[in-house]
């Protein structure tokens, strides 16, 4: 288990280039199954979830490699249709392999991914969309067995704009016979990016960025070379870090438009933000403690649930009261228990956290409860008057290529401890 130590109360100063987007890359890796041949993805972060997806693809017969940010996936031969249970349990987003695997082979066997610290995480919307496209899906004993001839275009209206279900349906529909119209889709930038990738493979998807996608089924797709967008959640994490520590930083490579609502929240909390509209990034200056905030998470373009934990950490050191309401996941306040070790004053009531900020926070020894909760603990440590230790950083490594490197480039005093046992 790896751990990191952080010296707090050091204003940040520096710039960092943001890694490629985890939540754009993972569906693209799954979508590489749709083309016989070798797909090349650039700006791929070397994170645990990417390697887990490699494991899934290799278990299906693909050959995968990652070097200097370039992933090469040879999906010429897909000889297996069963996703090993160990990968499903390790990474919930393995469910997004279902759609492309059924579209490619006509079969797929997987398992219920199970809940996680964020909540139950059902996949009913995924399965109902695939059934609507003509897949026969049987569920028994935690297993999911899917089979289909060629999928057939149809009209699907999602009961909730689920990111994963939208992605699964699109990746199944691109090889279906006829046209598929998807309504009430999620509109996250990662879905727009996925549609761009699929169209580069020869798919015909229109409406990307809106809540209605139209997919003209193709008979086959060709592999391609593609560069996904930057990780807006990593960018938002580092901007939140500078708000907690104060200072002046720049995050490069991210499109400011993808963070419009978080930037509004940062301004309301007292940050000075400069953007020039292109993907050259965002500059933030924080001269003093942030002000308290009231925010609610929601489907894009609302405030993203993936930044709720890190802004909860900023609220813990803010001047005044804050209220954060989590509308996407029913249990995404796991970080609160660990934030209290920093002296944070957080009261939880169902889906709302009420916070009374204080500064400085107290250095603490804490353990990351999940990916974004772990990042939140690093943000809180930057506002603590001393050295803090964050254990369980394997959670953080699922989504951040090297949070120590990136925070260090922003001027934070942070170092990794590889704890050896036995
Ligand atoms: C994606 O998860 C992201 N993961 C999550 O990021 C992100 O938090 C989430 O979208 C919301 O933006 C990836 O892209 C790999 P959802 P996903 O389906 O697709 C309910 C991170 O930290 N739901 O939009 O699983 C579900 O329970 C991760 O990077 C159903 O009820 O999210 C939740 O309450 C965490 N039935 C809500 O919808 C379904 O079939 C949103 O889930 C599917 C989802």
Order of strands, sheet of 2-7, starting from the edge strand that comes earlier in the sequence: 365-367, 387-391, 2-7, 413-418
- Of all residues in the chain, the percent with pLDDT exceeding 90 is 93
Write down which residue in 170, 201, 226 finishes a domain: 226
pLDDT tens, residue by residue, 350-371:
999 999 999 999 999 999 999 9
- The reply to whether 38 and 14 lie within a common domain is no
pLDDT above 70 for 419: no
| Tokens read off for 328 | 């996407």
Counting ligand 1 atoms within 8 A of each CB, the residue from 162, 297, 307 with the most, and so the one to mutate, is 162
Q: What is the mean pLDDT of residues 307-325?
A: 98
Backbone dihedral angles phi then psi of residue 285, each to the nearest 5 degrees: -125, 130
The per-residue pLDDT for 120 is 85
Dihedral through CA 252, CA 260, CA 414, CA 326, nearest 10? -150
- The reply to whether 297 and 247 lie within a common domain is yes
- The reply to whether 74 and 208 lie within a common domain is yes
pLDDT above 80 for 11: yes
CB-count burial class (<10 Å; 0-12, 13-18, 19+) for 353: buried
Q: 306 CB under 6 A from ligand 1? A: yes
Q: What is the mean pLDDT of residues 182-204?
A: 98
Q: What is the mean pLDDT of residues 140-156?
A: 96
- The reply to whether 112 and 15 lie within a common domain is no
The per-residue pLDDT for 121 is 87
- The reply to whether 193 and 83 lie within a common domain is yes
- Of all residues in the chain, the percent with pLDDT exceeding 70 is 98
At residue 279, the 3 state secondary structure works out as coil
Per the structure, the complete domain to which residue 131 belongs is given by: 22-226
The per-residue pLDDT for 175 is 98
Measured by CA distance, the residue closest to atom 30 of ligand 1 is 122
- The reply to whether 195 and 302 lie within a common domain is no
- CA angle at 325 for the pair 321 and 330, rounded to the nearest 5°: 140
Q: 310 CB under 6 A from ligand 1? A: no
Write down which residue in 226, 243, 267 finishes a domain: 226
Write down which residue in 199, 226, 253 finishes a domain: 226
pLDDT tens, residue by residue, 93-145:
899 999 999 999 999 999 998 777 888 889 999 999 999 999 999 999 899 99
- The reply to whether 258 and 114 lie within a common domain is no
Number of domains composing the chain:
2
Q: Alpha helices, DSSP H only, in 107-230? A: 124-132, 163-173, 189-200
CA dihedral sign of residues 7, 8, 13, 19: positive
pLDDT confidence tier of residue 1, bands split at 50, 70 and 90: low
- The reply to whether 218 and 313 lie within a common domain is no
Q: Left (φ > 0), alpha (ψ -120 to 50) or beta: where does 114 sit? A: left
Counting ligand 1 atoms within 8 A of each CB, the residue from 19, 119, 121, 375 with the most, and so the one to mutate, is 121
pLDDT confidence tier of residue 280, bands split at 50, 70 and 90: confident
User: What number of other Cβ atoms are within 10 A of residue 399's Cβ?
Assistant: 26
- The reply to whether 89 and 129 lie within a common domain is yes
The per-residue pLDDT for 185 is 98
- Beta-bridged to residue 352, according to DSSP, are 325, 349
Write the DSSP string, 89-126: HH-GGGGGGHHHHHHHHSEEEEE----BTTB----HHH
- The reply to whether 128 and 149 lie within a common domain is yes
Question: What is the number of residues in the chain?
Answer: 422
CA–CA distance, 69 with 56 (Å, rounded to integer)? 19
pLDDT confidence tier of residue 380, bands split at 50, 70 and 90: very high
Measured by CA distance, the residue closest to atom 31 of ligand 1 is 122
- The reply to whether 383 and 405 lie within a common domain is yes
In angstroms, what is the span from residue 277 Cα to ligand 1's centroid? 28
pLDDT above 60 for 421: no
Whichever domain contains 391, its CATH number is 3.65.10.10
| Tokens read off for 422 | 């036995």
The per-residue pLDDT for 420 is 58
The per-residue pLDDT for 377 is 98
pLDDT above 80 for 279: no
At residue 303, the 3 state secondary structure works out as strand
Q: Alpha helices, DSSP H only, in 174-231? A: 189-200
The per-residue pLDDT for 201 is 98
CA–CA distance, 242 with 238 (Å, rounded to integer)? 6
- The reply to whether 37 and 84 lie within a common domain is yes
- Report the relative pairing of strands 247-252 and 12-17 from DSSP bridges: parallel
Measured by CA distance, the residue closest to atom 34 of ligand 1 is 329
The per-residue pLDDT for 266 is 98
CB–CB of 225/40 below 8 Å?
A: yes
CA–CA distance, 282 with 287 (Å, rounded to integer)? 16
This model's pTM is above 0.95:
yes
Q: What is the mean pLDDT of residues 71-76?
A: 98
Task: Give the closest residue to 195 by CA, choosing from 179, 221, 181, 213.
Answer: 213
| Number of continuous H segments (helices) and E segments (strands) in the chain | 13, 23
CB–CB of 409/16 below 8 Å?
A: yes
- CA angle at 282 for the pair 276 and 283, rounded to the nearest 5°: 105
Average pLDDT score over the chain: 96
The per-residue pLDDT for 418 is 75
The per-residue pLDDT for 155 is 98
pLDDT confidence tier of residue 59, bands split at 50, 70 and 90: very high
Measured by CA distance, the residue closest to atom 25 of ligand 1 is 164
- CA angle at 54 for the pair 51 and 58, rounded to the nearest 5°: 145
CA–CA distance, 76 with 67 (Å, rounded to integer)? 20
Kindly give the number of the ligand 1 atom that is closest to the alpha carbon of 127: 40
CA distances from 385 to 318, 334, 400 (A): 15, 23, 25
pLDDT tens, residue by residue, 387-412:
999 999 999 999 999 999 999 999 99
pLDDT tens, residue by residue, 319-337:
999 999 999 999 999 999 9
Report, as residue numbers or ranges, the catalytic residues.
Answer: 116
């Amino acid at each position: 288990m790896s751990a990191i130590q952080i010296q707090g109360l050091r204003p940040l100063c520096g710039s960092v280039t943001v890694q490629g987007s985890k939540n754009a890359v993972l569906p693209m890796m799954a979508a590489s199954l749709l083309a016989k041949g070798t797909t090349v993805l650039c700006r791929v972060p070397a994170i645990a979830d990417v390697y887990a997806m490699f494991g899934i693809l290799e278990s299906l017969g693909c050959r995968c490699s990652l070097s200097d940010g370039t992933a090469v996936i040879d999906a010429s031969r897909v000889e297996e249709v069963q996703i090993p249970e160990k990968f499903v349990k390790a990474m919930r987003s393995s469910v997004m392999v279902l759609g492309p695997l059924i579209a490619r082979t006509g079969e797929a066997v997987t398992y219920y991914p199970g809940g996680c610290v964020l909540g139950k995480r059902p996949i009913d919307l995924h399965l109902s969309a695939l059934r609507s496209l003509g897949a026969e899906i049987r569920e028994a004993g935690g297993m999911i067995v899917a089979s289909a001839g060629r999928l057939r275009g149809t009209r699907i209206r999602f009961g909730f704009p689920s990111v994963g279900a939208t992605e699964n349906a699109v990746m199944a529909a691109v090889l279906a016979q006829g046209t598929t119209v998807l309504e009430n889709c999620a509109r996250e930038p990662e879905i727009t990016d996925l549609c761009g990738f699929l169209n580069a493979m020869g798919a015909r998807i229109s409406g990307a960025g809106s809540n209605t996608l139209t997919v003209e089924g193709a008979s086959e797709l060709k592999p391609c070379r593609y560069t996904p967008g930057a990780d807006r959640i990593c960018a938002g994490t580092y901007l939140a870090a500078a708000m907690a520590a104060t200072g002046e930083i720049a995050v490069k490579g991210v499109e400011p438009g993808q963070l419009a609502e978080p930037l509004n929240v940062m301004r309301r909390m007292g940050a000075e933000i400069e953007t020039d509209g292109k993907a050259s990034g965002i500059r933030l200056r924080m001269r003093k403690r942030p002000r308290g905030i009231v925010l609610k998470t929601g489907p894009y373009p609302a405030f993203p649930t993936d930044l709720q934990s890190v802004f909860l950490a900023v609220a813990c050191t803010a001047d005044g009261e804050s209220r954060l309401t989590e509308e996407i996941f029913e249990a995404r306040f796991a970080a609160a228990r660990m934030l209290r070790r920093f002296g944070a004053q957080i009261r939880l009531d169902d889906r709302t956290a009420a916070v009374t900020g204080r500064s400085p926070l107290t250095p603490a020894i804490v353990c990351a409860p999940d990916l974004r909760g772990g990042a939140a603990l690093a943000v809180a440590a930057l506002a603590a008057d001393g050295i803090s230790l964050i254990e369980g950083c394997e959670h953080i490594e699922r989504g951040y290529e090297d949070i120590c490197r990136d925070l260090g480039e922003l001027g934070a005093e942070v170092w990794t401890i590889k704890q050896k046992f036995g």
